[in-house]
Amino acid sequence: MQIRNKTFKLYLDANTIQKRIAEMGKEITADFHDKNPVFIIVLTGAFAFSSELIRQFQGKCVVRFTRIKSYTGTISGEIETFTGFDIPIKDRHVIFLEDIIDTGKTVFHLTKEAEKLKPASITVATLLQKQILRPNLIKGDYVGFEIPDVFVVGYGLDYDEEGRNWNGVYQLASE
């Protein structure tokens, strides 16, 4: 697969991803089925993963969105955009749905902002988590797949806004 001058090769196929999302849905249901959690989908990358995961959740829930951006091209940088939360989350169980935890900056920012609003709990579910040392010690509570420190696209993840629609996760090939 090609985006501009970059070549990507299949890393995780759609069937493998969907099977793991179903398992994650069961795990989250077991922990939150009676708590009416607020799922906050982190746009834009988490939309594909989140839509499948939420359908696997068996219980009452509320679904909301926030937008946060820190990537430019293949590099994670500083937080550029954050839209906040559009409903009160005080005393609610908040579950952030993220596409990937890389440096942990976006999840760290989200959790710090949410903590100010005094939720009952904050949980993070992510499709992918890179196996790297993070200075902020942020990691997902529910992780679809641990991956090495490689750049990936597809299944909602992008390279300069392209590749989100690819049915699978693709790794940047050696250049």
In-domain check, residue 168: no
pLDDT at 133: 75
pLDDT at 86: 82
Which one is catalytic: 31, 102, 149, 160? 102
Domains of the chain: total:
1
pLDDT at 99: 96
Cβ-in-10-Å burial (0-12, 13-18, 19+) of 59 comes to middle
pLDDT at 35: 97
pLDDT at 21: 98
How many degrees, rounded to 5, is the angle at CA 57 between CA 24 and CA 33? 105
Can you give the length of the chain in residues? Answer: 175
In-domain check, residue 156: no
> Rounded distance, CA 131 to CA 54, Å?
25
Active site residue 86: no
Regions of the chain short of the pLDDT cut 70 = 69-84, 175
Find the domain containing 63 and state its range.
16-150
In-domain check, residue 162: no
Yes or no: say if 138 and 118 are a contact pair by the CB < 8 Å rule: no
Cβ-in-10-Å burial (0-12, 13-18, 19+) of 175 comes to exposed
In-domain check, residue 92: yes
pLDDT at 127: 98
pLDDT at 82: 65
What pTM value is reported for the model?
0.90
Per-residue pLDDT tens digits for 29-78: 999 999 999 999 998 899 999 999 999 999 999 999 988 866 555 455 56
Which amino acid is located at 85 in the chain?
Answer: F
List the CATH number of the domain containing 121: 3.40.50.2020
